[in-house]
Amino acid sequence: MEIKALIDDANAALYAKVSVQYQVKLVPQADWRACAWQSTINTDTLEISYCPTEFPKAAFSRELLSVDAHMSGFKSVYAGIALDRSVRPFLPTLLKYLNKSFVEHKIAARFQSLGYPREQFHAAPEGDAADFWLSELQTAGHSLLYVSLLYLDFIAPLVPIALQQQQALQKAFAAYNNGNFLKSLGQTKGILGDWTLDSSYSAEAYMVDLLLNLGIKNTWISYHKDFPGLLQHFPQNGFFVGDPFNRLEIDGFAT
């Protein structure tokens, strides 16, 4: 696949803006399990991993919008240190969800403003995912954190779910755990709604609010990728959720 085949009237200006800062390269998606497009920035090079899709120009434009969000000030989170050992196993998944959700909510309207149909925002239909969510919501005993991650997928912008499935899922989320999670789920939606309307790309305060709403506390989240040297960047290259702590209080940790 060549870049010139992915540029059209809708994304030409966006591509020009991104390519001023980065040398853009297309590479085949190496992970056969991940049928998705993905962007990786390495200093002055932007690598966009691609896979077969019915709408390659829309997928390419979505990646450009994601990179443009970072150019505008959005900072991804990569690792964390939690004093609560029960939180530590969930951090890698949680941080991926934060990056994904915050970027998607920020760029969805811009994607549509370029003229692409809403159904092209996601690489694959969510029909099977909706069935999975309903199945999980019929299983008792899930934690607020787990249900909230399902909910983040459900409220992702422009998710192509049939109206009947949407209504069934809304009822299932509202009723789960005798309705005890409903307030928190509503606050999650409200936080992401406020973030979407904010003209800035500084997400830290919204991420803190969201994590506190999910019951995460006594945790430090890092903007740095280098896990082996993570403590070298503590605490200046990240932010605390809940009360801050020092290195003496850290008793082994996992990202």
Question: 1-71: which CATH architecture?
Answer: 2-Layer Sandwich (3.30)
- CATH 3.30.160 positions along the chain are 1-71
- Can you give the pLDDT at residue 254? 44
Could you tell me the end-to-end alpha-carbon distance of the chain, in angstroms, rounded to an integer?
35
The pair of structure tokens assigned to 131 is: 């069935």
* Cβ neighbours, 10 Å, residue 18: 22
- Can you give the pLDDT at residue 218? 93
CB 111 within 8 A of CB 61: yes
Give the global pTM: 0.91
Long-range own/partner contacts, residues 69-73 (CB < 8 A, 24 or more apart): 69/103, 69/106, 69/107, 69/201, 70/41, 71/17, 71/18, 71/21, 72/201, 73/200, 73/201, 73/202
- Can you give the pLDDT at residue 35? 66
The residue written with tokens 């070298």 in the block is: 232
Q: Which residues, including other chains, have CB under 8 Å from residue 102's CB and lie 6 or more apart?
A: 74, 192, 195, 203, 206, 207
Strand 219-222 and strand 79-82: the pairing is antiparallel
Q: Which residues of the chain have pLDDT under 50?
A: 254-255
- Can you give the pLDDT at residue 128? 72
The pair of structure tokens assigned to 114 is: 């370029």
